[in-house]
Amino acid sequence: MVQMASGADFEANLAQAQRLIARAAAQGAGLVVLPENFAVMGLSEQDKFARRETEGSGPIQDLLSAQAAKHRIWIVGGTLPMASNESTRTYASCLLFDASGARVARYDKVHLFDVTLEPSGEEYMESRSTVPGDRVVVVDTPFGRLGLAVCYDLRFPEMFRAMLDRGVELIAVPSAFTAFTGKAHWEILVRARALENQCFVLAAAQSGEHGNGRRTYGDSMIVDPWGVVMDRLPQGPGVVTVECDRAHQERIRSSFPAVRHRRRSLISGGGNAGADAGDQPGSQVQV
């Protein structure tokens, strides 16, 4: 996990990301996850519109592709603003690049942060500048079937159950939790999504003060399928690197088969869309 304190200086954000990706790769990481808004944390929500990119073109995508190929690693590229058909809104897109630098998956953030935090007086209306996505994304990787989610998605367990129906084994969650909500809910939500789905959850966060006046919580962490925090970085820029033992996950799912004990008949619209054994590495399932 890469933790950052991104600001209004676009080039500085890219340089910081590049340094931290290199540090993670030097520590042996094969999969690196960047936080939400890692490249663009503007002074206003509209600032990111000026940095929007089109499919397959732009400095943010170029950086992610080049770093993945240079270090021979897979990169979950946090989020970046991708162009939409609307004149004032972009998608908040999480892109996955493989070790050759090829982009193999895209997830557009589904749940948008439109909330008022009464105790702190903070108000966020992400939908004013962001178009919501409408698909769950799970993709085959050398590390297992990887699900992609972003920040506020953590509060919607049905989305992660949909990933589970598609055979998910680890979940990347680039985030930028506020300091206020993070203190109350961050660890609880990350650990809950891990243990209830018996997955590794890789939660990379923003941390610190940002030029737009926002304060983010940090505490990037990697949680195992038993809900145990394997390692974390409470504050400040840096990396968290651990080895995720797939055999450990298999033992948990075999001896404590909670994911097989689900009663789908109790859930309206429930289904049994499992993983396709014929999927090839790099293929993605989008529903």
DSSP strand pairing (31-33 vs 80-83):
unpaired
Mean pLDDT of the chain: 91
Q: Which amino acid is at 285?
A: V
Q: How far apart are alpha carbons 85 and 99 in whole angstroms?
A: 31
Residue 106 reports pLDDT greater than 90: yes
Residue 132 reports pLDDT greater than 50: yes
Residue 95 reports pLDDT greater than 90: yes
Bridge partners (DSSP) of residue 226 are none
Average pLDDT of span 83-87? 94
- Residue 268 — pLDDT band, cuts 50, 70, 90? low
Average pLDDT of span 68-81? 98
Contact 150, 36 (CB under 8 A): yes
Q: How far apart are alpha carbons 200 and 204 in whole angstroms?
A: 13
- Residues belonging to the active site: 36, 109, 151
List of residues 6+ apart from 31 with CB closer than 8 A: 73, 74, 75, 76, 141, 143, 146, 202
Dihedral pair phi/psi, residue 151, rounded to 5° = 45, -100
- Which sign, positive or negative, has the C-alpha torsion 237, 40, 109, 75? negative
Domains and CATH numbers, the chain: 2-286 (3.60.110.10)
- Which sign, positive or negative, has the C-alpha torsion 202, 164, 149, 159? negative
Bridge partners (DSSP) of residue 123 are 116
The two three-digit tokens of residue 223, written as one number? 């949680």
Dihedral pair phi/psi, residue 173, rounded to 5° = -130, 80
Q: How much of the chain, in percent, has pLDDT values that exceed 90?
A: 82
Dihedral pair phi/psi, residue 219, rounded to 5° = 60, 45
> pLDDT digit string (tens) for 4-61?
999 999 999 999 999 999 999 999 999 999 999 999 997 777 788 889 999 999 999 9
Contact 110, 127 (CB under 8 A): no
Reported as type and span, the H/E element at residue 22 is: helix 10-26
Crossing angle, helix 59-71 and helix 10-26, to 10 degrees?
20
Q: How far apart are alpha carbons 221 and 1 in whole angstroms?
A: 7
The two three-digit tokens of residue 276, written as one number? 């396709």
